[in-house]
């Protein structure tokens, strides 16, 4: 008891300067804080100018893979050799060919989630099996296609997360060109 009394009284730590420092740091960091992380998707315009000379005759005819995004679904163009090896199924006169990947609800797609993106990725994976060196895909959206759907189509055709190769998602067609050729 007597020993304790000998000790000097514990001085309380003066935290006010630290507080000042922290109070100044907080607005500064708040300004530089990023609450959403951004990414970019690369795309280029279709090349304008003279066509590049073909150096050698390719063994396989080049794949001109196109995805037409319409209100009824997604039509995969330019890969009939894979999708319809026996030729396209006959279509009744006066009827439009149904899209390769129809909407989940049938008929017109209601919003982004109604498009069958996993099915599109699966089909593109099949095409990639046949054309492993091809990396380009052309998107042809309709006039009323929402931008979100275009982005989602780019995502679905870039990589296949469900079938990873060596731990990372399988790369499908990472180079996207957006064509403005849709008439409707």
Partner 1 sequence: MSMKKARRQSAEAGLNITSMMDMMTIILVFLLKSYSTSDVSVAPSDNLQLPTSTSQKAPELAVNLVVAKDQIVVDGVPVLDLTKVPDEENPGQQLIVVPEDEKRGQVITKLYDRLLEKAEAAKTLAEQSGSDEHAFKGRVLIQCDRELPFNVLREVMYTAGQAQFGEFKFVVYKQG
* Interaction site with partner 1 (CB under 8 A): 12, 15-16, 18-19, 22-23, 25-26, 29-30, 32-45, 48, 141-148, 150-152, 154-155, 158-159, 161, 178, 180, 182
Question: Which H/E stretch holds residue 32?
Answer: helix 16-32
The span from the CA of 17 to the CA of 6, in Å, is 30
State which H helix or E strand residue 122 sits in.
Answer: helix 117-130
Q: Do residues 73 and 100 touch, judged by C-beta distance below 8 A?
A: yes
Q: Considering beta carbons, is residue 33 or 89 the nearer one to partner 1?
A: 33
Six-digit token pair at 137? Answer: 């895909």
Q: Quick one: 26 or 91, whose CB is closer to partner 1?
A: 26
Nearest distance from residue 21's CB to partner 1, in Å? Answer: 9
Q: Smaller CB distance to partner 1: residue 35 or 61? A: 35
Cβ proximity of 73 and 84 under 8 Å: no
- CB 8, min distance to partner 1, A: 16
Instruction: Kindly state the smallest distance separating residue 129's Cβ from partner 1, in Å.
Output: 21
Nearer to partner 1, 123 or 154 (CB): 154
Dist CA 95 CA 61 (whole Å): 30
Q: How far is the CB of 89 from partner 1 (least distance, A)?
A: 28
């Amino acid at each position: 008891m007597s020993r304790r009394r000998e000790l000097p009284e514990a001085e309380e730590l003066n935290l006010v300067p630290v507080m000042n420092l922290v109070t100044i740091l907080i607005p500064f960091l708040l300004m530089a804080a990023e609450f959403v992380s951004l990414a970019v998707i690369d795309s280029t315009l279709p090349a304008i100018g003279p066509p590049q000379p073909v150096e050698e005759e390719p063994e396989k005819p080049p794949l001109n893979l196109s995805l037409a995004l319409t209100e009824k679904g997604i039509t995969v163009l330019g890969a009939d050799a894979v999708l319809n090896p026996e030729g396209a199924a006959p279509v009744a006169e006066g009827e439009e060919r149904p899209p390769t990947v129809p909407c989940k609800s049938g008929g017109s797609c209601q919003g982004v989630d109604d498009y069958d993106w996993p099915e599109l990725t699966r089909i593109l994976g099949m095409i990639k099996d046949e054309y492993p060196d091809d990396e380009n895909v052309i998107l042809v959206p309709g006039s009323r296609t929402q931008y979100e759907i275009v982005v989602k189509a780019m995502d679905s055709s870039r990589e296949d997360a469900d079938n990873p190769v060596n731990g990372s998602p399988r790369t499908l067609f990472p180079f996207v060109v957006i064509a403005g050729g849709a008439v409707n």
